[in-house]
Each structure stands twice: as C-alpha cells, then as structure tokens.
Chain A
Amino acid sequence: ETGVTQTPRHLVMGMTNKKSLKCEQHLGHNAMYWYKQSAKKPLELMFVYNFKEQTENNSVPSRFSPECPNSSHLFLHLHTLQPEDSALYLCASSQETVSYEQYFGPGTRLTVT
C-alpha cells in the first residue's frame, strides 16, 4: 500500500469551476512534489516543496496554485482551467533531496470539459 494518498482519484470540471487536489504522505518525508502526466509525454515536474517552502515552480500557469500547510500535506488549487490541462496529476514525496527516491501517490485523473 502506498504511503502517499491522493484525493479525489477522478475529477471532471468545467473551465469556470474551482477545485482542489489533495495529497497526504505518511512517510515522514520533508519534500513533496506535484507532477503532470499527459498522454505520450514525459512526467513534467510542476512544483517542489521542501520543509513547507516552495523551492521550484517549473513555469506553471497561475491557474494552478499550490499550497503546503505542513510537510505531510500538499494541495493543488485549480481555477479557470483549459481542456489541455486534462491529465493525470501525481503527487510524490521524498526524504529530502532528490538523491533519495521519490514515492508517488496514485494520482488524480483530471478531465476539463
């Protein structure tokens, strides 16, 4: 069983909706990540948090807004998304730096209509 959980597992939203994705890790890790996985494309890193501080924003549009209230929880707030934002959104965590393996959650399958 994965130590990283994500909710919801599936989400369908309209372009004018606001929704949030939630990630929780039970591994005692200090770094958490959001990735986007689209069909036929490599996993794309979106955001990195280390000890609750954002250390990486990989040129992500402002319609995606992350929040990390503590080292165990990570949110991705979504608003006015586009159909091309439809993808699998994966959360991951690692002990500290990327020299340690990252553990992934099951992902949220997002469809924007």
Chain B
Amino acid sequence: EDKVVQSPLSLVVHEGDTVTLNCSYEVTNFRSLLWYKQEKKAPTFLFMLTSSGIEKKSGRLSSILDKKELFSILNITATQTGDSAIYLCAVSGDSGGSNYKLTFGKGTLLTVNP
C-alpha cells in the first residue's frame, strides 16, 4: 500500500523565518510527487516533481526530490503571514494497474505569526 508521511505535523514560526517541510513516501512504481497548499477549502497546486535532484522554484517557495532516499522537501524563505496554511504532499504510482490514484499525506499545518 502506498504511504506518505509528512513532518512536522504542525509548525509555528515568525515572519521572516525560513521553514523546511518534509515528505517521505513509499509507492509502487513512482511517477510523480506533488505539493499543494490548502488555506481554507480547495488545495491549490504548487509543484510537481518527477526527476531527482532538480529544484523547482516559484518565488520564495522551492522544492526538491530525492528518489533514492524517497523524500522531498518544500522550502519557504522569508515567510509571510499569508503563507499560513496546510501544506499537502501527494505521490502517484502505478500500483494495481490504476494510473489515476494520488496518495496524500496528512499535511503540515504552518502558522506564520507577525
């Protein structure tokens, strides 16, 4: 069974701090790893990673995948209160013939205080 473990489960920082969120996974025939940000309702897509060692970057957010060690990290530099959200990690793999299944972790609740 595919499995995604995120850590920490929650984190409280002050504005301007840098944070690193972790995601480790076990999946059959890995295809991709995705990061989402969930503020109130709908998770919004951040990154999709398929290749090891290539950093994806968007503004103050960046993410990298290590397929050998089966983990990914999401970095947020110079955090702002608007970064407060739940960050979800998900992986997809070809298990049992289904090409469409994403397995999500429980998420990391990030709170950025002013």
Contacts and interface: CB of A to CB of B under 8 A. Distances in A.
A55 B106 contact: no
Interface residues of A, number: 28
Given A99-B92, A103-B45, A104-B42, A42 B102 contact: no
Interface stretch (A13-21, A43-51, A61-69, A78-86): A43-51
Contacts of A43: 43, 88, 90, 102, 104
Contact of B34 (A31, A41, A88, A101): A101
Given A42-B106, A56-B100, A98-B92, A106 B42 contact: yes
Given A40-B106, A42-B4, A42-B106, A97 B100 contact: yes
15 contacts: A2-B42, A42-B104, A43-B43, A43-B88, A55-B98, A55-B100, A90-B41, A90-B42, A97-B100, A98-B99, A98-B101, A99-B31, A101-B45, A102-B102, A107-B42
Interface of A: 2, 4, 31, 33, 40-45, 48, 50, 55-56, 58, 88, 90, 97-107
Interface of B: 4, 31-32, 34, 36, 41-45, 48, 50, 88, 90, 92, 98-107
